Chains A and B, each alone.
Chain A
Amino acid sequence: MVQCLAPDGSVVREDLLPDPGTRLELYRQMRRARHFDERGWVLYRQGRLGVFPPFGGMEASQVGTAAALTKNDWLFPTYRDTGAALTLGLPIARTLAYWRTSPHGWHMPADLKVLPFYIPIATQYPQAVGAALAERRQGTRNVAMAFIGDGGSSEGDFHEALNFAGALNAPCVFILQNNGWAISVPTRAQTRATDLSRRADGYGIPGVRVDGNDALATYHVTREAVERARDGGGPTLIETVTYRVKPHTVADDPSRYRSEADTAGWDAKDPVTRLRTHLLNAGLMTEASEADLLAEIAAEFEAALAEADSYPEPTPAEILDHVFAEPTPQLKKQRAEILAEHAQNGTQSSKEQA
């Protein structure tokens, strides 16, 4: 298992250390992600965010991998990969809107190739293969990165995608976040395999196992895989070994299926603390500069929250928008039904009717 920093923050692989600027940027992105996760809980309890899957403790797995991409690359995130999407540049306001169940969360920025969070498991893997292949066919050096969990690696689509990517030499990087649990089913009950990165062997592609709580290690191995893909070397499967210390969703009660003993020890492996200790020890950050960073992150989040608060609620007939380029006669008729039924509900509907 590739590791750069030990859990206590000490350097175990000097040769894998990224440059200081990159280390600081990884820390900044992990802090942004954690802030989102922590504020998300509060907003959920206040009724200002819907049910969402927390990812606290998995920041190194998400941030270190997504940081290896550029804005020309594709990112196919699962519902738990908010940290990865934020890292590539998905605006916080849009992300909040998504978990508020607002269509404004489905408007992805035009300068970003991040797909909306995937709810079905593993379906995004073959799609990433297609996007990667299309980039290569169009002569670019862009790659596609897709995320999945240990549970998702039981799905047929996972295996089909790895096989397709290998056979067609697609510039794809597959991130398998082994976070220990598929809702209530532990990895040991999910599969007899103990090293999920070796699933790559079956498809003739490289498989890498990395400490998923070590942002410097995840960044290092992912950057290698991205560069190999850009250079025509084909796909890589990266297993990030991490842990879902939080519940499956904010509405989940993990005490029904796991004990405190299961989770014991993972706090000591916390990815944010680990990199923080390293940066302080290396003199790359001071407690004062960190305080400035945290204040900046908090201000950024509150501004985004205000932006999300300003998004208008959708009108009733909007549920029929964006089905086809041009609505079918059937959709036009159904739209008229909705407008007639909701005509009393405001000017927007009346305007549409006119």
Chain B
Amino acid sequence: MTAPTTHAPQPTTHKNMTMVAAINDALDIALAADDTVHIFGEDVGVMGGVFRATDGLQAKHGQERVFDTPLAEAAIVGMGIGMGLAGLKPIAEIQFAGFLYPALDQILSHLGRYRHRTRSRYHLPMVIRAPYGGGVHTPEQHADSPEAILAHTPGVKVVIPSTPADAKGLLLSAINDPDPVFFFEAIKLYRSIKEDVPTGDYRVPIGKARIVTQGDDVTVICYGGMVEVAHKAAAAAHAAGIGVEVIDLRTLVPMDTDTIITSVAKTGRAIIVTEAPRTAGFHSEIAAIIAEEAIEHLRAPIIRVTGFDAPYPPFTAVEDVYRPNPLRVAKAIRQVMDY
């Protein structure tokens, strides 16, 4: 919507693939199209990444273009900033979003404000990819959802796809965006869904939400790993005669406010679903926007279905208590319908 996005010709061929394969495909296309694209991070080279998102890319594009770094997130991001300043397009992988924290100084102090502090003399066309979120029984610290920290940082964009085709199309848009983009990939979705993905240089514009299901009664706003959860709840509600409009935000910064407000104006009910902790999350921003711009349409309080204000629990037996599931979303739907 706001990013200068070049749309490739409408693809005529598709290939059925998982989200991780779609991401690999996008990276492969970007490396082939532009010599300045460089991919680096921990284990992205020889090993192809812990989730294999960069599998085969070093062998195909060379050790200078796809390379392993020492283990240090601040330097990975800081080095990427320097590479971006000097004319390259850096794509850094942070192995898990929960490992971003050591790099926050580089991100908050520099990545987001380089264009500003140099009056656009320099800009950073950098992409930082990070697997995020729970649902797959990872160890401590591997399942965090830190997107609100980034969304609160001026000067960086935040993109979170929920389907293989969107992952490819949004990632290629991110790589071609002149500004820094955080690209969060829901670990739960890497291999659990497959769909037909357009081949070639396929782009999905940054800043435009996707309406997953249409409905007249309730708007459910979500992104990334929660789209699948909301979709299941919407299907159940539909069977019970309740029309649920599920909006996949796709991009938190910039946010497609128009799509949210148009939908809430139609339904009069809003539920926001994320797996991040509840207090001060991005869901709170969405709720505030609805309150500011559509309160006259509301027929029920806005409800947030979220994780809790505790660290994400790596306890398999109770992990699902933390992470929103379709039943919790369904309960929220009943709640706003019965209000």
Residues of A within 8 A of B (CB): 74, 103, 106-108, 110, 115-116, 119-120, 123, 125-135, 137-138, 144, 156-157, 160-161, 163-164, 167-168, 321-330
Contacts and interface: CB of A to CB of B under 8 A. Distances in A.
Interface in B63-82: 64, 67, 69-70, 72, 74-75, 77-82
B4 A325 contact: yes
B90 interface: yes
Contact of B155 (A120, A324, A326): A324
B75 A163 contact: yes
Contacts of A325: 3-4, 115, 120, 123, 177-179
CB-CB nearest 4 A-B residue pairs: A130-B82, A126-B78, A134-B86, A328-B254
A329 B87 contact: no
B81 A130 contact: yes
Given A133-B82, A133-B83, A330-B255, 15 more contacts: A106-B119, A108-B118, A115-B85, A123-B78, A127-B85, A129-B79, A131-B85, A132-B82, A134-B86, A138-B86, A157-B105, A168-B69, A324-B178, A325-B115, A330-B257
Interface residues of B, number: 51
Nearest to B178: A325
A39 to B, nearest CB: 25
Contacts of A126: 74-75, 77-79, 81-82, 106
Interface in B208-253: 253
Nearest to B154: A323
A106 B118 contact: yes
B88 interface: yes
A115 B122 CA distance: 9
A88 to B, nearest CB: 15
Contact of B109 (A120, A160, A161, A327): A120
A123 B105 contact: yes
Contacts of B268: none
B85 A138 contact: no
B4 A157 contact: no
A170 B120 CA distance: 26
B87 A157 contact: no
A130 to B, nearest CB: 2
Contacts of B72: 156, 160, 163-164
B110 A123 contact: yes
A127 B119 CA distance: 18
A130 B179 CA distance: 17
B121 A164 contact: no
A130 B79 contact: yes
A115 B258 CA distance: 38
Interface in B178-210: 178-179, 207
B277 interface: no
Nearest to B207: A328
A100 to B, nearest CB: 15
A73 to B, nearest CB: 11
B116 interface: yes
A2 B90 CA distance: 39
Contacts of A322: 115-116, 118-120
Nearest to A135: B86
Interface string B158-194: 0000000000000000000111000000000000000
A75 to B, nearest CB: 12
A103 B82 contact: no
